[in-house]
Structure 1
Amino acid sequence: MDDTNGPTTRERDPILERALGRAWADDRPWELLSRLTALSNRMGGSPGERRAAELVRDDLEEAGVADVRIDEFPMQRWQRGTTEFAVTDVDDGATDAPAGERSFEAIALPYCPPGDLEGPLVDVGYGTPKEIDDVDLQGAIAVASTTTPSDRRFVHRMEKFGHAAAAGAEAFVFANHVPGQLPPTGALKFDAEAAIPGVGVSAETHDWLVEYAERGARVRLRVDASTTDGTSRNVHGTLGPETDEELLVLAHYDAHDIAEGALDNGCGIATVAGAASILADLEDDLDCRVRIAGVGCEEIGLLGAEALADDLDLESVQAVVNVDGAGRFRNLKALSHASEPLADLAENVAESFGQPVVHDRDPHPFSDHWPFLRAGVPSLQLHSEPADGGDRGRGWGHTAADTRDKVEPRNLREHAMLTALLVRELTGTEVPRVSADELRERFEDQNYVPGMRAAEVWPPAWE
């Protein structure tokens, strides 16, 4: 009897079966995640990020990756100071009460400049371009939700910030849509101090701010922060035969300083380390060299990925597998970034092993595949989502609730196995380059171009 919901029939491979069997009982991905999340923080350029690079190096060496090394690169280190945020001129509705002031918790967003300012509070809803165009933000403090309605393209934080700044806002408030008194963080721009301040506030604070904006209240904001010269690190080594071409598998190991960074992206780098151990057992099956990398400073601008792309001969990189988001939730999600062959490969591998995979074929520029995809290198991003599809947005990510207790070890193991299987298959698959014209057309179709320009990530060569 055919079982259409089961795995595709395939020949038995004892070596592969033994490698997967060992991976099923392998606790090393969980142990790496635990060591990383036990650090005080892994913010780009910090001592904690430096120690994290050493932990990743040690783990890759133990997994069997050869010639593992740490490369330093320069970056702009942002350090968080204090933030004061208060709504002023608040009328509490009592006829005999004067206008007052109410303070709320807020945190500065990376690359926020220091500042001390005041202005009218203006609610821009989800912060979509249309909503921002529909209000007067000149000299105002704009407040926008972290999410976007499901019937519209997801608008990234940097886009919302860029549009608000271009519309004349004096400051930007990024309000979480996930409850729990969790102000969110996230970089305002890449590797440089932003033009105006930006802060994060909780969903509960957002509820009040929307009401206060309707009443015509003003906001007083003071931020103490600094941006200075610093350094970060990439960790990488190789597996498989010495070939002219190579496949790059990477994940970022840095995290924001307000959280443990378990989901974003402790899970991703732990998944890569687990996959590397499996691939080391399958080296004879690899048809080209595989470079395994942990990159720094993704959270503040894809800086490690940019440095690695500068160091490698991109003509020799046949494809990139960017593990950003895998291991977090139950079902693997494959983002093929306009490469249909990569979408087909992910689907075929998942089906042959009876595993579900969620597809997203549209490209986006906001993860470590971007410096490579921008140069035409086919890129597969491995993410994950709950079995029920979950809510739109980051969930616990970029908040103080991004902690190890949210992670299930079985997800790390299973996604490490699926990552290794995908990479094994990909080393023997020729995938065409993605042309700049096709990418530009796909971004135009998604109405992404104004947002990418606002976020300053639209490639000048595409003008």
Structure 2
Amino acid sequence: MRLDPKLAARIAGDVGLWQDFNDICDCGGRLAGTQSERRAFALLRERVQAASPANSGRSIPVTYNGWTAKKAVLRLHDGSEAACHPLVRTIATGKEGLTAEVIDLGRGTPEEFATHADEIAGRIVLVRHELMFAAGTIHRRRKYDMARERGAVGFLIAGPLPGNVVAGSSGRDGGHGIPALGIAPETAARLARTAHGWPTATLLIETVETAAETESLVYDYPGRSDDWVVLSAHVDGHDLAESAMDNGSGLAAVLSVVRALSPEVANFRRGLRVMFFSVEEWALTGSAQYVAALGEIDRAKIALNINLDSVAGSPDIAALTSGYASVEPFLLMVAAQNGHSLRTVRPLMINSDHANFALSGIPAIRLVAGFDDPTANLRVVLTPADTRDKVAQSELRQAALLTAALVAAACNAGPSEAAAWRAH
């Protein structure tokens, strides 16, 4: 299970890894439907083609409900305006905006929503954005849904970083929703209830919604059988910054693995399928469509999905194993034999493209850096601070080396071992 030393040396000395990462960041935040996203896809095509000239890959069209924010304003009760950012696919307000009282539910747990159930209807709910890479995290989309279901007329979520608003998706795909904005923690402090009563705020949001299309890129490198290991990463991000950790780091690591392993896969037991998804930030849409289109036979041929999402920004990497307990000994053994420290986290976390594979019965993991570490740079993901300076070259190299070792071992694992991975 140890990666061939020549392949490990190839990745360790891969000058293209850091160049790819910076070039991906140069594309911008890569919000789905923008020129930034399209530049990133063009770059990925170019780099994969350079690594394996004979493999032109294929593009799978992905249709989705497109959305663009034209204007977002948050006006506080004293008439001042505060910085804000519209959550992806928020609905628009009327031209005059939406004015209502604000109820601060703190973290926004189910218990807090239940306790204040009689006070939510007709008000704007304010909650806090949490470290996404942690056990027990309550995702923003769940908080949004709880607010909407209890009759809130608007939604505000405060980010963790002083002086910075927060981005993210509302999770709405179409139809009913409530206006939703990300704000800075200082703004949330100004919206606290006082002896004078509930504060008020005005949300003014203008959007355009239309049918849109993006793509998933697929590159197949056949092995000795018609079974596959899928290595995936998502292309899209947000327009607040460079989306460097999330997920420029994963894209760059995948490209390095392709350069190192693609010439060797023909000798592997299983083939390697490399996939670049988009609209991941929009409720995992690209991978959801891909998995839904797979027939039963094609699903059975995928032994494992290894999904890279935010794999740098901390030297500590975890594997989210999606409830597939039998995968964990394999992962830990490969990591140990290749000199890597790896933590495994078992509960299914629906926070990246691996979740769609796992929910369809395909063993799937997500590699992520900084899990459960509130001091790691990953804490600023989805803020304007998700920039390339948060990533160390050593972290990126480590992620690529670990990924290559896991991919090679999974491609060569025996049939009985791979069959066991499917057990929950």
TM-score by length of 1: 0.83
Tell me how far 1:167 sits from its aligned partner: 0.9
Q: Residues 167 and 382 of structure 2 are in contact (CA less than 8 Å); yes or no, is this contact kept in structure 1?
A: yes
Q: Hey, what does 2:405 align to over in structure 1? A: 421
Tell me how far apart the structure 2 counterparts of residues 211 and 25 of structure 1 sit (CA, whole Å): 57
Tell me how far apart the structure 2 counterparts of residues 281 and 155 of structure 1 sit (CA, whole Å): 42
Is 1:113 aligned with 2:91? yes
Tell me how far apart the structure 2 counterparts of residues 417 and 243 of structure 1 sit (CA, whole Å): 25
Q: Hey, what does 2:310 align to over in structure 1? A: 325
Residues 296, 102 of structure 1: CA spacing in aligned structure 2 closer, same or farther, 3 A cutoff? same
Gapped regions of structure 1 (runs ≥ 5):
1-9, 89-99, 439-463
Tell me how far apart the structure 1 counterparts of residues 56 and 211 of structure 2 sit (CA, whole Å): 29
Tell me how far apart the structure 1 counterparts of residues 115 and 173 of structure 2 sit (CA, whole Å): 31
Tell me how far apart the structure 1 counterparts of residues 5 and 310 of structure 2 sit (CA, whole Å): 26
- Residue type of the alignment partner of 2:379: G
Tell me how far apart the structure 1 counterparts of residues 131 and 249 of structure 2 sit (CA, whole Å): 25
Q: Residues 140 and 171 of structure 1 are in contact (CA less than 8 Å); yes or no, is this contact kept in structure 2?
A: yes
> Residues 341-360 of structure 1 correspond to what in structure 2 (within 5 A)?
341-360=326-345
Q: Hey, what does 1:101 align to over in structure 2? A: 79
Tell me how far apart the structure 2 counterparts of residues 18 and 273 of structure 1 sit (CA, whole Å): 17
Is 1:131 aligned with 2:131? no
> Residues 161-200 of structure 1 correspond to what in structure 2 (within 5 A)?
161-179=144-162, 181-192=163-174, 195-200=177-182
Which among 198, 210, 234 is matched to residue 192 of structure 2?
210
Residues 198, 287 of structure 1: CA spacing in aligned structure 2 closer, same or farther, 3 A cutoff? same
Tell me the SS of whatever aligns to 1:395.
Answer: helix
Tell me the SS of whatever aligns to 2:160.
Answer: coil
Tell me the SS of whatever aligns to 1:427.
Answer: helix
- 1:377-435 deviation per Cα after TM superposition (whole angstroms, max 9, x unaligned): 0111111118x933489511111111111111221112111101101111233144657
Q: Hey, what does 2:394 align to over in structure 1? A: 410
Residues 252, 331 of structure 1: CA spacing in aligned structure 2 closer, same or farther, 3 A cutoff? same
Is 1:82 aligned with 2:61? no
Residues 69, 202 of structure 1: CA spacing in aligned structure 2 closer, same or farther, 3 A cutoff? same
Q: Percent identity?
A: 24
Tell me how far apart the structure 2 counterparts of residues 212 and 50 of structure 1 sit (CA, whole Å): 48
- 1:154-201 deviation per Cα after TM superposition (whole angstroms, max 9, x unaligned): 10000000001111100000101222x111111111533551111000
Which among 276, 288, 291 is matched to residue 273 of structure 2?
291
Tell me how far apart the structure 2 counterparts of residues 163 and 156 of structure 1 sit (CA, whole Å): 11
Moved more, 37-46 or 295-304: 37-46
Tell me how far apart the structure 1 counterparts of residues 63 and 133 of structure 2 sit (CA, whole Å): 39
Residues 107, 294 of structure 1: CA spacing in aligned structure 2 closer, same or farther, 3 A cutoff? same
Residues 33, 148 of structure 1: CA spacing in aligned structure 2 closer, same or farther, 3 A cutoff? closer
Q: Residues 133 and 370 of structure 2 are in contact (CA less than 8 Å); yes or no, is this contact kept in structure 1?
A: no
The number of equivalent residue pairs is 411
Tell me the SS of whatever aligns to 2:14.
Answer: coil
- Residue type of the alignment partner of 1:68: G
Tell me how far 1:267 sits from its aligned partner: 0.3
Q: Hey, what does 2:52 align to over in structure 1? A: 64
- Residue type of the alignment partner of 1:70: S
Residues 393, 305 of structure 1: CA spacing in aligned structure 2 closer, same or farther, 3 A cutoff? farther
TM-score by length of 2: 0.90
Residues 333, 251 of structure 1: CA spacing in aligned structure 2 closer, same or farther, 3 A cutoff? same
Q: Residues 248 and 320 of structure 1 are in contact (CA less than 8 Å); yes or no, is this contact kept in structure 2?
A: yes
Q: Hey, what does 1:222 align to over in structure 2? A: 204
Q: Hey, what does 2:13 align to over in structure 1? A: 25
Q: Hey, what does 2:36 align to over in structure 1? A: 48
Tell me the SS of whatever aligns to 2:69.
Answer: strand
- Residue type of the alignment partner of 2:303: Q
Q: Residues 335 and 343 of structure 1 are in contact (CA less than 8 Å); yes or no, is this contact kept in structure 2?
A: no
Tell me how far apart the structure 2 counterparts of residues 150 and 58 of structure 1 sit (CA, whole Å): 32
- 1:200-243 deviation per Cα after TM superposition (whole angstroms, max 9, x unaligned): 00122222223569842111111111221111111111224252
- Residue type of the alignment partner of 1:104: A
Tell me the SS of whatever aligns to 1:209.
Answer: coil
Tell me the SS of whatever aligns to 1:266.
Answer: helix
Tell me how far apart the structure 1 counterparts of residues 195 and 268 of structure 2 sit (CA, whole Å): 59
Tell me the SS of whatever aligns to 1:57.
Answer: helix
Moved more, 162-171 or 212-221: 212-221
Q: Residues 249 and 320 of structure 1 are in contact (CA less than 8 Å); yes or no, is this contact kept in structure 2?
A: yes
Tell me how far apart the structure 2 counterparts of residues 240 and 406 of structure 1 sit (CA, whole Å): 36
| CA root-mean-square deviation | 2.4
Tell me how far apart the structure 1 counterparts of residues 378 and 173 of structure 2 sit (CA, whole Å): 22
Q: Hey, what does 2:223 align to over in structure 1? A: 241
